[in-house]
Amino acid sequence: MSEAVVCLENALFKVGFNRVQIRCSSINERSANVPKACGYVYEGTHRQDGIDLGKFRDTQVFSKLRKEWSAKKKRRLK
């Protein structure tokens, strides 16, 4: 999954996006591990943001800015 995120963020930043956001359910730890592994910054939790299987759930929000992506890309090239 991380490889798919990297491919998508590369495409989005190359066409001019400044920010990419990933949102995932707080009950699914594996989903939250993907943005963490890809260097996204945890921004916070939206409390009771949605309903899953009839119960309210929280949503974790992660993001990466173009300048963070560019800096990491430059470090990899060195």
How many C-beta atoms lie closer than 10 Å to residue 58's C-beta? 14
What local confidence, expressed as pLDDT, does residue 52 receive?
Answer: 86
- CATH architecture classification, 2-67: 3-Layer(aba) Sandwich (3.40)
Residues in the chain predicted with pLDDT less than 50, given as ranges, are: none
CA distances (Å), 1 to each of 23, 31, 57, 67, in order? Answer: 14, 9, 23, 23
What pLDDT is stored for residue 76 in this prediction? 66
pLDDT at 63: 98
pLDDT value of position 78: 59
